[in-house]
Structure 1
Amino acid sequence: MSTNTKKKRGTGAAVVIIVLCLAALGALGYVIWRQFHPAVPETAAGYVASAESTAPVYDENGELLGSLPRGSEVQYVLEDAQGDAQRIRVVNGEGYACIDRANLTDDYAAVVQVETVYALRGMSLVDETGAVPGCAVEKGMALTVTGFDGLDGQGEVLRWKVSCDRGEGYIDAANVRMTEDEAKAQYDDALYQRHAARGDAWGGGDAAGLDYYPTEKAAIPGNDMPEEVRALYLNGSAIQYADSYLRLAEGSGINAFVVDIVDGTAVSYASPVMQQYSPSAYAAAQDTMEGFRANVQKLRDAGYYVIGRITVFNDAHLAADHPEYVISDLDGTPLKISSMYWPSAYNRTVWQYKTELALEAAALGFNEIQFDYIRFPDGAYKYEKAGTIDYRNTYGESKAQAVQRFLLYAAERLHKAGYYISGDVFGECANAYVTACGQYWPAISSVVDAISGMPYPDHYSAQGDYKPWEHPYTTVYNFGESAMARQSETASPAAVRTWIQCYNAIREPYNHYGAAELGGEVRALRDAGCTGGFMTWNGASDIDKYAEVISALH
C-alpha cells in the first residue's frame, strides 16, 4: 500500500471523528439551550366563558391570580386542550396562566353560560333593533336565554335574547335578575303593600300588578330641563305664527312652549312616519315638515325649552286606516266611545307608530315629547257591563299595565335618542286609586320625566251650591296636595308640571279667567309643593287671552 493511500485514509478518519465530535457538541449545546429556552407550545384563539361576569385564572401551581372578563379573547395551549387536563394554560404576558376547561370556548356565542333569567318588571320584549315591541312579560317570569347582544368591558351582558311561552325578543340587562327571588322582591315592600291594598275598583286594574322599581331619571347632556317650566301652549295652526308668540313671551317670565305635533285629527306637519302608518293623517297635515321645523327652530333659537305634544290613543285617522287596531264590538266593528274612535292601548303596533312619530318629530328641534291621551276611553262602562266590547287585549293585561308598559317602551327609546318624555293625566289621577281609564299616578310618575295633571276647575263637579270653577286657587291647591301625596308613593317621582285653565269657564256662570284667576292657579301649585312648573291650556292658543294673563305667569 502506498504512503499516499495511507495518508488519505488517515485524513478521512479524522474528518469523521471531527464531524461526530461537532455533532455531539451540537446536541449537547441544544440540550443545554433547551433547558433555558423551552419549546413554545402551539396555541389557538379562544374566549373566556362563564355564568358570571368574570372567570378565575390561576398560576401553574394552582394559586389564584385574579379573573378575566367574560368574552375576553385568549391564546390557549392546544396540547392542554386536546388532553385531559382540567385546567388549560393561556398566554399571560411572557408566561402562562391557567383557566378551568369549563371557562374556555372557541365559540364567542357560547361565552355566556346562563340558561334562565327572570324579568324584574312587567314590560314588553322588543325585537333586535329595539324598535318593535313584542310580547308582555310579567315580574318574576322565567325567561329562557337564547343569546345575548353585547358585553361591556367587565363581562356584563348588555341585552339578553330570551324566549317564553308568549314569544321571544330582547330585554335590557337592567330589567332582569339571575334568580326568581331577586326578580320578585319589591324595591320597598312597605310601600308596595300600600299599592297592593288598592284593588280594581273602577275597571282600570289593580295597583298591585303595576311596576314600582325605580327608574333613573334622564340627565341628558346639552338638553337641560328647566327646574320650573312656565309654558304657553301652541296648537298646529298657532305655531305658524311663532314670531307673534315670541314677541309676547319676551321678558314675561315664560321659558317654554308646548307645540302640537298631532292633536286628535289636527296634524301639524306632513310626517313620513304618518305616511307609513296612517296615510289619512299624512293627507290632513297643516304644514310641510320643513315649514314646521323652521317654526320650532325659531323657538329654540330664541332660547326656549320646547315640548312636542302627541295624542296617543285618541286617533280617528289611524282608526280609519287600521280598524283592526281599534277598540270594537264583539263583531270587530270599531266602537265610537265619547264621540271618538280609540286605537287600543294594548296594541303594540300603535305603540311603535306613536314612538316612531315622537322620535321623528323630536329631531326637528324639540327638547321633550309629551304624550297625551295615554289612557283608555272614559264612557266605556256600559259596554263593559253588557260584555259587548273587545279591547283587543292579547296578553291579558290590565288597562293600567298597558299604559305603564307603553310609557316604559317609549321612554327607553326617547332617552337613548337624547329626549325627555312627559305624560298627561286626568286631575282625577291624583286620587289614591287606579282610574277606570287605566291611569295610576305613582306608576306613571315612576317612568316619565314629568307628569302633567289637568285639574281644570271647570272639569270638577259642583257640590251643591259650591262650584269649583269659581274657586281656582282652592281647586288647584287641593289637586296639588293630592298629587304630592301620590309623589311620595314612588321611589323615582317625576317632576310635577301641571296644565292650568287658561280659558273662561264653560259652565255657568261662565266665569272669566283673567290674570287674577291664573295667578291663583299658579300660586296654588307652588303652595302645594308642585314646583315643576305649569302650562297654559287654551285649545285655540288665543294670543289675546295670553296677552291678558301673561303678567300672572312670572
Structure 2
Amino acid sequence: MTGLPSFGSPDGLSGIVRNAYTNEPVSGAVVSSSGSSVTTNGSGEFSVAERDATALSISRENYEATQFAVTPGAEDLEIQLRPTILQGQVTNQLTGDPIPGVTVMATGDGDATVKAITDDEGRYVLNNIPRNATVSVDLDGYSPHAQTVGESIEMDFEIRVDVVTGLITDDTGAPLPDATIQIGEAVTTSAPDGTYRLSGIPASGSVVVKKSGYREALADELPDDMVFNASLTRFVVRSLYATGLTVASDESWEALLQVADNTEVNAMVVDLKDSSGQVLYDTQVPLAREIGAVNELLDVRQKLDDLKERDLYSIARIVVFEDPILAEQRPELAIRDSTTGGLWVTYDGLAWVNAYERTVWQYNIDLAVEAANLGFDEIQLDYIRFPTDGLLETAEYGTDFGDETQSQAISGFLQQMQVALAPTGAYLAVDIFGFTLFEESDGGIGQQLESIEPYVDVICPMIYPSHFHPGAMGLDIPNNHPYEVILWSLQSGAERLGDKSYKFRPWIQDFSYGEGIEYGAAEVYAQIQATEDFGASGWMVWNAANVYSTEAFAKE
C-alpha cells in the first residue's frame, strides 16, 4: 500500500481483513471510507487516511461485501469477510469415479439459490453462496444428498447409485410382465417385455421379485453393476383350509399334512385371527393383548416349521372387520345402532368394527406384518367388507369420514396394508364375494373389483355354486353345475381386469348346501378343472370342518 500510512499508524485507521471461516488474512480486499479506498496487502493489512471515519465498506471477489461500523478511538481494526465460493468434486460412492453432469445447488436464507453442473472431472464451483446455505447434489439414477455448508469452502460428495435395472423371465426364458420388484419400500413392476427400472432404492436391503402364480425370487444384495435379472418358476397354489382347532390338534393337523404328502395339495390356509375376533397365537401386538383377544391356541412357529419341512406354501388368514372382541372392548371403534345408541349387531348377535376407523386398520396391519415376519408366505384378508346381514338401515358409521365411500374405505385400507407389507416380501391376498366378479358396483359392501386389484397380489373370489340363486348364469340350479359356475365367474372377472386376471385364485366348495346335488370328489374335481382351464393362479378348498374329498386332489 505505497504512499499510505503503515499498519498501526496514528495518522489514520488501520486494521486487517480476515477470512471469517479460517481466520487467514485476505489480500486484495477493497476497504473504502467516505473519502478514499485502499487495497489490503499480502498480509491482509490496510490503512486509510481518515482517522475520524465512522464506517468502512469492505469487498472482495468471492467474499460477501460488508459494512463495518468504526468505534470512536478504535485502533488495529479486525474485520472478517464471509467466503461466498464453494468448490469440490462429486464421485461415485462405489467406484470412486468422477461423475459429470451432476446438479450442485446451494439454497440459503430467503430461498436464495445458486447452482452449478459438474464438469468431466466431476468438479464444480459455486459462487455467491448465500448465508446459512444447504448444498444439494442431484442426478437421476443416484441417491440425492444434502448437507449444510457451515464454514466450508471445499466440499466433496460421494453419491450412491440408487437405480437397479434388469429383466424378469419365467422358467422357460420368456419375458414376464407385471412382476413386482421391491427393495425395502421401493417398488415397481416389470414392463410387457419383462424389463424394469427401480429407482429410489435404499442403501441396503433384500431384493424380492414376485408375481401371483409364481415362486418368488430373493437376493440378499445387488451386484456391483446394479443389474439384477431374475427367473420366476411357475407355482400354482393348491390349498386346503385349516381352522385353529384343527391346527392345534396334533392328530388332525397330521392328518391334513398327510393329505398334502399324498396329493397335489401344496399349500395350507391357517386361521390366525378368526371371525370371533380371537388371535390364535402369542401375538405381541399391544392392542390384541389390551382387549383380551389373545388365545394362545397355536404354537405358530412350530406349525410353520411343519409346513416348511414339507415345502408347503403357508397362508395366514386374518378376519378383518367382523371382530366382536374389538367392537365390544373398544365400542368407539364399532358400528353403532342408530336406534339404540349401542353396538350394532348382525342377526346372529355379532358386533362388527367400523371399516372407516383408522385404528381398526392399523390393528390388522400390525397383525399382518407380524405374521409375515414370523415367516408366512402370504397374508390373506377375509371379511374385508361391510356387513351384509342385520338391520343395515340402522348401522351408523359416524360423521368423521366426510364423503368417503365404502369402496374407498376398503381400497384405502388395502393401500396402507400393501405399503406396510412390502418390506416383508409376503404376498397379499383378499377374499371377496363371488358376485363381485360380475357386479360392477361395490354391492353395498365396499367390494369393487377395480378398486381392490391395484393393491393386492392375489384376489380370492368365493365362488361357491351352492350360493347362487336358481336361474343365475342361465342355469336352473347353479349348484348342479360346478364346472360352469366357476369358469363363467372367472371369465366374467377377466372381462373387467383383462391382463390382471392372473391374480384370481378362487375358493371352491367341498361341502353340500342348499338345493341340488350332494358334493363329493367328482364335484370338487370339476371345480378344480374349471380353474385350470381358465388359467387361474391356483385354487383353495373350503370345508368348515376340514373334512375333504381327498380323491379330488390325487396326483396325476
Question: For this structure pair, what is the TM-score category when the shorter chain's length is used for normalisation?
Answer: 0.5 to 0.7
Report the counterpart of residue 334 of structure 1 in structure 2.
Answer: 343
Alignment partners' CA distance in 2, 1:40 and 1:393? 57
- What's 2:103 paired with? 68
Pick one of 256, 269, 278 that aligns with 1:245: 256
Which of 540, 543, 546 is residue 541 of structure 1 equivalent to?
546
Report what 1:97 is aligned to.
Answer: 124
Partner of 1:303: 311
Cα-to-partner distance string for 1:472-500 (whole Å, 9 max, x where unaligned): 11111221111211222xx7556111100
Q: 1:479 to 1:321 in 2, by over 3 A?
A: same
TM-fit CA distance, 1:321: 1.2
CA RMSD of aligned residues (A): 4.2
Q: 1:226 deviation in Å?
A: 5.4
Q: 1:421 aligns with which of 408, 420, 428?
A: 428
CA-CA distance at 1:155 after TM superposition: 9.6
Q: Secondary structure at the match of 2:301?
A: helix
Give the deviation of 1:225 after TM superposition.
Answer: 8.4
Deviation at 1:251, TM superposition (A): 3.9
CA distance in 1, matches of 2:303, 2:497: 35
Q: Which runs of 4+ in 1 moved over 4 A?
A: 39-48, 85-96, 100-105, 152-156, 172-175, 216-220, 223-226, 274-278, 491-494
Displacement, 1:95?
A: 11
Q: Under a length normalisation based on structure 1, what TM-score does the superposition of the two structures give?
A: 0.60
How far 1:352 sits from its partner (Å)?
0.5
- Rounded to whole Å, the distance in 1 between the matches of 2:297 and 2:279 is 6
Match of 1:254 in 2: 265
Question: Contact conserved, 1:88 with 1:101, CA < 8 A, in 2?
Answer: no
What's the offset of the Cα at 1:530?
Answer: 4.0
Name the counterpart of 1:477.
487
Kindly state the Cα deviation for residue 363 of structure 1 after the two structures are TM-superposed: 2.2
Q: Could you say what secondary structure the match of 1:446 adopts?
A: helix
Query: Structure 2 length normalisation: TM-score?
Result: 0.60
CA distance in 2 between partners of 1:90 and 1:474 (Å): 65
Cα-to-partner distance string for 1:230-279 (whole Å, 9 max, x where unaligned):
11111112223333222221141111111111111154213221654653
Aligned to 1:316: 324
Please state how far the C-alpha of 1:372 moved relative to its aligned partner.
0.6
SS at match of 2:292: helix
Which has more helix, going by share of residues? 1
Equivalent residue for 1:513, pick from 508, 512, 519: 519
Alpha-carbon separation, structure 2, partners of 1:153 and 1:294: 42
Which structure exhibits the higher relative contact order, with contacts defined as CA atoms closer than 8 Å and separated by 6 or more residues? 1
Residue of structure 2 equivalent to 1:354: 364
Residues 231, 536 of structure 1: 8 Å contact kept: yes
Q: Using the TM superposition, give the Cα deviation of residue 471 of structure 1 relative to its aligned residue in structure 2, in angstroms.
A: 1.4
Residue 408 to residue 303, structure 1, CA distance change in 2 (3 Å)? same
Deviations 1:142-195 (A, max 9, x none): xxxxxxxxxx95799xxxxxxxxxxxxxxx9999xxxxxxxxxxxxxxxxxxxx
Change (3 A) 1:95 1:303: closer
Letter in 2 for 1:512: E
Tell me if structure 1 keeps the 8 A contact 2:104–2:116.
no
1:66-87 CA-to-partner distances (Å, cap 9, x unmatched) read 33367xxx9x9xxxx99xx986
Listed one character per residue, the Cα deviations across residues 302-340 of structure 1 (whole Å, up to 9, x for unaligned) are: 111111100000111111111110111236421002432
Q: How far apart are the structure 2 equivalents of 1:534 and 1:222?
A: 24
> CA contact under 8 A between 1:487 and 1:493: conserved in structure 2?
yes
The answer (yes or no) to whether the contact 2:431–2:461 under 8 Å persists in 1 is: yes
Distance 1:88 1:309, change over 3 A: closer
- The percent of aligned pairs where both chains have the same amino acid is 29
Aligned amino acid, residue 530 of structure 2: A
Letter in 1 for 2:449: W
Q: Would you say the 8 A contact 1:235–1:541 is kept in 2? A: yes
Deviates more, 1:239-248 or 1:338-347: 239-248
Output one character per residue of 1:440-485: Cα deviation in whole Å (capped at 9) or x when no partner.
1122122100000001011111239922112111111221111211
3-state SS in 2 of match to 1:404: helix
* 1:222 aligned partner: 218
How far apart are 1:377 and its partner, in Å? 0.6
Aligned-partner residue type, residue 448 of structure 1: V
Q: Given that residues 87 and 125 in structure 2 are in contact (C-alpha distance below 8 angstroms), is that contact kept between their aligned partners in structure 1?
A: no
Deviations 1:379-422, CA, capped at 9 Å, x for gaps: 36x543xx662356524310000101111100111111221101
